[in-house]
């Protein structure tokens, strides 16, 4: 039963991500990437990692992909993209090498020794509680560091974006004196 579900999900995910890579249309690429992200959460659900599955849905499908989509609104999403590919061989070589390295990194532990969980969850806890316990005991410092990093990124983003936020863009362009602008540029 689980095997059927796993292979169905895997084939679908792989197929969708292949569409993402090979499609020349932004909209297809984005939709298939989003659909793949949703299906990945299916893999988590199969492994009884309900919490991670839901988080995958919220974070990757709900938030990150939507931000991608937001970026893609600046292009005409219904047209095909013409790729500018000056040297196909070097692109092929580089991407091939990086793919091989990635596969090697993730496959090495699986081949070398069977993966063992570093931490075994305490009995009688459900999935969410187990994750919480591990995050706030053994991995507290990495967790907090990640949180601080996100905070730093957020503050930086706000600072970068909030320059002249109180003025409207049209006002800025109207008030701008061409000579002053030139001086500022120099």
The least CB distance from residue 99 to another protein, in Å, is 28
Which residue lies nearer to another protein by CB, 10 or 72? 72
Which residue lies nearer to another protein by CB, 13 or 61? 61
How would you write the chain as a 3-class SS string?
CHHHHHHHHHHHHHHHHHHHHHCCEHHHHHHHHHHHHHHHHHHHHHCCCHHHHHHHHHHHHHHHHHHHHHHHCCCCCCCECCCCCCCHHHHHHHHHHHHHHHHHHHHHHHHHCCCCCCCCCCCCCCHHHHHHHHHHCCCHHHHHHHHHHHHHHHHHHHHHHCCCCCCCHHHHHHHCCHHHHHHHHC
Which residue lies nearer to another protein by CB, 110 or 160? 160
Which residue lies nearer to another protein by CB, 21 or 103? 21
The least CB distance from residue 111 to another protein, in Å, is 33
**Residues near another protein, by CB under 8 A:** 1, 25, 27-28, 31, 34, 38, 41, 50-51, 54-55, 57-58, 61-63, 65-67, 69-70, 72-73, 76-78, 126-128
The least CB distance from residue 183 to another protein, in Å, is 31
The least CB distance from residue 87 to another protein, in Å, is 31
């Amino acid at each position: 039963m689980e095997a059927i579900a796993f292979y169905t999900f895997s084939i679908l995910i792989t197929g969708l991500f292949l569409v993402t890579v090979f499609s020349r249309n932004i909209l297809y690429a984005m939709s298939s990437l989003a659909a793949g992200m949703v299906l990945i959460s299916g893999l988590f659900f199969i492994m009884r990692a309900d919490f991670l599955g839901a988080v995958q849905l919220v974070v990757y499908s709900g938030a990150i992909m939507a931000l991608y989509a937001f970026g893609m609104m600046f292009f005409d999403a219904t047209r095909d993209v013409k790729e500018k590919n000056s040297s196909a061989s070097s692109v092929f070589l580089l991407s091939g090498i990086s793919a091989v390295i990635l596969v090697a990194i993730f496959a090495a532990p699986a081949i070398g020794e069977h993966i063992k969980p570093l931490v075994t969850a305490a009995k009688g806890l459900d999935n969410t509680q187990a994750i919480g316990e591990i995050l706030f005991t053994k991995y507290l410092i990495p967790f907090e560091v990640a949180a601080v990093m996100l905070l730093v990124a957020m503050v930086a983003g706000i600072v970068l974006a909030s320059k002249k936020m109180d003025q409207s863009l049209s006002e800025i362009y109207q008030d701008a004196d061409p000579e002053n602008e030139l001086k500022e540029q120099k």
